[in-house]
Amino acid sequence: MKKRLLGMTPSELGETALSKGLPGFAGKQVARWMYVRRETSLEAMTDLSKSGREALGEEFEVGAAMPVSVVCSADGTRKYLFPVDGDPQNAVEAVMIPDDDRKTLCVSSQAGCKMGCKFCMTGRQGFHGNLSAADILSQFITIDESSELTNAVFMGMGEPLDNWENVKRAIDVLTAPWGFAWSPKRITLSTIGVIPNLRKYLDESRCHLAVSLHNPFPEERLEIMPVEKLYPMEDVLDLIRQYDFTGQRRVSFEYTMFAGFNDSPRHAEALVRLLRGLECRVNLIRFHKIPDFPYGTSSDEVMEDFKNRLQRGGLTATIRASRGEDILAACGMLSGKHRRGER
């Protein structure tokens, strides 16, 4: 199997080029082809000599994974399925969500997930491996809308901070002047709060943060999120409060609403107390019911009332619009079907 160039920095590409007898500056050329022109074939890199391309191609390839399927929603959302390490049975999703003049890509970082959140289809699949930086970047490079993407959210399959090294490498490519040259403000990483790597993320990047909270009471949160035992939300918040979110960088909290579990006035009041003094936004998310999970979807009236209570308590709160419902947009559903051969 050939080694993949996608995800390498220009200096790593330069060393690779030198090792195959090409000039060191070929690294910058290859980076420009891959990250600026989104080229997936060494053959097409015509400012490299033919013999140089052949020498490189003996051992290396760009290594961009192509989607094995795409499903389109009536609202314009498009869900792509990508093979992991060339294995279509081990697939992850990337979802492109259009909204006015934005096109946001919801990116996966792992095949499956170890975190075991009870309400999540990806969590139910178990863990099938970390995505390499090449697999993460493939989601940006080989979809039809590649050149039109404006934003990215690491909110697809997997816990991105459980695969920090590869996610960091991908973010570096997205934000470097020699890479996609995106502002960090265009990227949001969503986590359930893996504290050691959350600290690294906050120190080593300037991208936005979204935290999956879902219940302000530790014992209740633990019922649906085992991570609460290892990394309690209170400790996550202590860490977040050490960073500045009053300027360009933003923090938001994801709160999926489960009927009769976390949608009462008591929960709204506790949430206000928990987040008091933090410059943040709370996104209330409609739950898509899944099999063998005891709680259903909160009604529109309950969600509206919950939002109003948060706002009266001084929080910025919004109800997030559901997108792509007709194509199973809830995380992990399409790939779960794929894994079971139900396409």
Residues in contact with ligand SF4 by CB under 6 A are: 113, 115-117, 120, 122-123, 157-159, 192
Closest to ligand SF4 by CB, 67 or 123: 123
The residues carrying an active-site annotation are 93, 331
One-letter identity of residue 181: A
One-letter identity of residue 151: N
Closest to ligand SF4 by CB, 140 or 287: 287
Closest to ligand SF4 by CB, 10 or 156: 156
SS3 72: strand
Min CB(155)–ligand SF4 separation in Å: 8
Nearest to 92 by CA among 133, 145, 128: 128
Q: What is the CA radius of gyration of the chain?
A: 21
SS3 305: helix
SS3 64: coil
10 Å Cβ neighbour count for 234?
A: 11
Closest to ligand SF4 by CB, 39 or 159: 159
- Measured CA to CA in angstroms, residue 206 lies from 12, 31, 290 at distances of 23, 23, 35
Min CB(331)–ligand SF4 separation in Å: 6
Min CB(259)–ligand SF4 separation in Å: 19
Cβ atoms of 205 and 171 closer than 8 Å? yes
Min CB(121)–ligand SF4 separation in Å: 8
Q: How far apart are CA 299 and CA 301, in angstroms?
A: 5
> Which residue minimizes CB distance to ligand SF4?
123
Min CB(218)–ligand SF4 separation in Å: 17
Closest to ligand SF4 by CB, 63 or 123: 123
Q: Which residue has the tokens 């290396």?
A: 60
One-letter identity of residue 79: K
Min CB(132)–ligand SF4 separation in Å: 18
Nearest to 341 by CA among 128, 89, 157: 89
One-letter identity of residue 312: R
Nearest to 76 by CA among 95, 59, 91: 95
Closest to ligand SF4 by CB, 182 or 287: 287
Tokens of 166: 């590869």
